[in-house]
């Protein structure tokens, strides 16, 4: 793979999709429907998916493409693939909270090597460069010319005073039970894959996710975090989170800055949290 070309295409498509999303977001109204799994979908999801899918298929016709909004792609299997969530954080979009992102990633042999996360309502653009280093680009954004970029580096965590980020729409008692095992200085909440990016920038140290996610939800943010020196591991055994799993569903996971003394789950407390 020509990573220079890959990142040029992925960055441009993320920006184009973000433009289309914002046209709908800033309009007077938009339709919201429920998919088969009861999750919401809007015309913005579908419009962004059309932009990204057409661009990726034209640029990389021989690479498998997995995208949330195209159910026929979910039955595919591959070790090398592009994976897309054209609008991650649809609930935030519907509620006009701004914490939604465009996610595009390239996965090889189970590892998300490159990715772009664009939060158009917040004007934040994160991605891995061709060499794998994660950066945040300052706006305004030109589709074809890269602006000023700042390399990202995770913080050096203080295990006596950690910054934790958790889901805005999916916070639950089980997550709180796990977070309680750490010495937390402060907590923040964020929607979509922005949580990975907050760890990548050093704005947070720890992001535990004890809930259902799919690989298209996490791959781009995971790539950005890895490119900033962070890690994403399975919740159960702390092994690296892998991609290309049957059905594309993730286990629970923890995204974090190295140096954190990760805690094993208190199974009894978590069981109580899940059943209450």
pLDDT tens by residue, 222-249: 999 999 999 999 998 899 999 999 999 9
Res 37: pLDDT: 55
Q: What is the pLDDT of residue 273?
A: 44
Q: Is 78 exposed, middle or buried (0-12, 13-18, 19+ CB in 10 A)?
A: middle
When pLDDT is cut at 50, 70 and 90, the band that residue 147 belongs to is very high
> Rounded distance, CA 17 to CA 56, Å?
12
Length of the chain: 276
The CATH number given to 162-275 is 3.40.190.80
Domain residue ranges in the chain? 3-151, 162-275
Pairing of strands 32-34, 40-42: antiparallel
Which residue bears the tokens 């039970």?
177
pLDDT at 276: 44
**Collapsing DSSP states into helix, strand and coil, what is residue 217?**
helix
Helices and strands (H, E) in the chain, number of each type: 7, 14
Reply yes or no on whether the pLDDT at 275 is more than 50: no
Q: What is the CATH number of domain 3-151?
A: 3.30.540.10
* pLDDT confidence tier of residue 67, bands split at 50, 70 and 90: very high
Least confident span in 16-20, 259-263, 268-272: 268-272
Q: 82-111 pLDDT, tens per residue? A: 999 999 988 888 888 888 999 999 999 999
The confidence band for 42, taking pLDDT boundaries of 50, 70 and 90, is confident
Question: Predicted confidence band at 14 (pLDDT cuts at 50, 70, 90)?
Answer: very high
């Amino acid at each position: 793979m020509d990573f220079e070309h890959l990142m040029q295409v992925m960055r441009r498509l993320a920006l184009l999709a973000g433009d289309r999303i914002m046209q709908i977001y800033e309009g007077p109204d938009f339709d919201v429907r429920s998919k088969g799994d009861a999750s919401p979908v809007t015309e913005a999801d579908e419009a962004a998916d059309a932009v990204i899918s057409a661009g990726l298929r034209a640029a990389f016709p021989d690479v498998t493409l997995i995208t949330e909004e195209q159910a026929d792609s979910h039955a595919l299997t591959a070790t090398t693939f592009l994976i897309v969530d054209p609008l991650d954080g649809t609930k935030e979009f519907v509620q006009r909270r701004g914490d939604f992102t465009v996610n595009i990633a390239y996965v090889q042999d189970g590892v998300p090597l490159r990715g772009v996360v664009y939060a158009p309502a917040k004007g934040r653009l994160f991605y891995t460069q061709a060499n794998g280093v994660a950066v945040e680009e300052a706006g305004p954004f030109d589709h074809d010319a890269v602006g000023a970029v700042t390399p990202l580096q995770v913080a050096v965590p203080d295990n006596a005073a950690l910054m934790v980020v958790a889901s805005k729409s999916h916070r639950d008692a089980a997550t709180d039970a796990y977070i309680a095992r750490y010495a937390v200085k402060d907590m923040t909440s964020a929607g979509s894959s922005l949580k990975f990016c907050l760890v990548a920038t050093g704005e947070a140290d720890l992001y535990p996710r004890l809930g259902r996610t799919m690989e298209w939800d996490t791959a781009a943010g995971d790539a950005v975090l890895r490119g900033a020196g962070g890690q994403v591991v399975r919740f159960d055994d702390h092994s690296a989170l892998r991609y290309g799993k049957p059905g594309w569903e993730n286990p629970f996971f923890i995204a974090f800055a190295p140096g954190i003394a990760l805690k094993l789950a208190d199974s009894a407390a978590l069981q109580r949290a899940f059943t209450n």
